[in-house]
Amino acid sequence: MPEINQQRVVEILNQILESELAGVVRYTHYSFLVFGFGRIPIVAWLREQADESLLHAQQAGEWITTLGAYPSLEIGPLLDSHTFDIGSILRESLESEKLALEHYRTLLREVEGRSIALEEYARQMIHVEELHAGEVDKMLRRPGAVSTLPDPGPAKDLL
Ligand SMILES: [Fe+2]
């Protein structure tokens, strides 16, 4: 089995760590901004996502130190569209989740055939993140509709 490119793998793992940490901040931030009848279950769901992102960040960080490298203390990009409507919050989350998913796919390509453990980790994360993206996509559909709603464009400024 050929060796992994340690430096490249750590670089990708750090990107994963940073984007998952951004997820913790993003979901926590959004959880403060949900108002109306649906508030309680939606806030609970957003906080669950924050916890899951933290777990994913911890897993990436553990891999980095397993490989004998230093984990990044940076955090991935955060958008603040200042929109309070759930549709915009979910669409913004979906975009960021797709970015994280891309990092896991890059990791898989990098370690495929070189490290079974890292390959398993990347595949498992792709599985989890794809299910998550699918779930968010379904939340963006109108009840009774099977296909995804088109993005209505930037929401009106509510501030
Ligand atoms: Fe994640």
Q: Is residue 144 part of a domain?
A: no
Assigned domain for 1 exists: no
We report the CATH number of the domain holding residue 118 as 1.20.1260.10
Is 39 a domain residue? yes
| List of residues 6+ apart from 46 with CB closer than 8 A | 27, 28, 30, 31, 34, 89
User: If you write DSSP's letter for every residue of 80-140 in order, what string do you get?
Assistant: ------HHHHHHHHHHHHHHHHHHHHHHHHHHTTT-HHHHHHHHHHHHHHHHHHHHHHHHT
pLDDT tens by residue, 40-62: 999 999 999 999 999 999 999 99
CA of 56 to the centre of ligand 1 (A): 5
Within-domain flag for 18: yes
- pLDDT category at 157 given cuts 50, 70, 90 is very low
Q: Which domain holds residue 37?
A: 6-139
Q: Is residue 112 part of a domain?
A: yes
Distance 75 CA to ligand 1 centre (A): 14
Q: How far is the CA of 119 from the centre of ligand 1 (A)?
A: 16
Query: For 154-159, what is the mean pLDDT?
Result: 48
User: What per-residue confidence (pLDDT) applies to 1?
Assistant: 77
Q: Contact 55/109 with Cβ under 8 angstroms?
A: no
Distance 54 CA to ligand 1 centre (A): 8
Residue 156 lies inside a defined structural domain of this protein: no
- For residue 60, the CA-to-ligand 1 centroid distance in Å is 10
Ligand 1 geometric centre to CA of 52 (Å):
6
Q: Answer whether residue 154 is part of any domain.
A: no
Residues 136 and 90: beta-carbon distance below 8 Å? yes
Between the alpha carbon of residue 55 and those of residues 5, 21, 51, 89, the distances in Å are: 25, 9, 6, 21
CA angle 113/119/123 to nearest 5° reads 130
Q: Measured in angstroms, how far is the CA atom of residue 20 from the centroid of ligand 1?
A: 6
Cα distance between residue 79 and residue 124, in whole Å: 27
Q: How many domains does the chain have?
A: 1
Structure confidence by residue, pLDDT tens digits, 109-118? 999 999 999 9
Residues around ion ligand 1, judged by CB within 5 A, are 56
Three-state secondary structure call for residue 72: coil
How far is ligand 1, taken at its centre, from the CA of residue 141, in Å? 22
Residue 151 lies in a domain: no
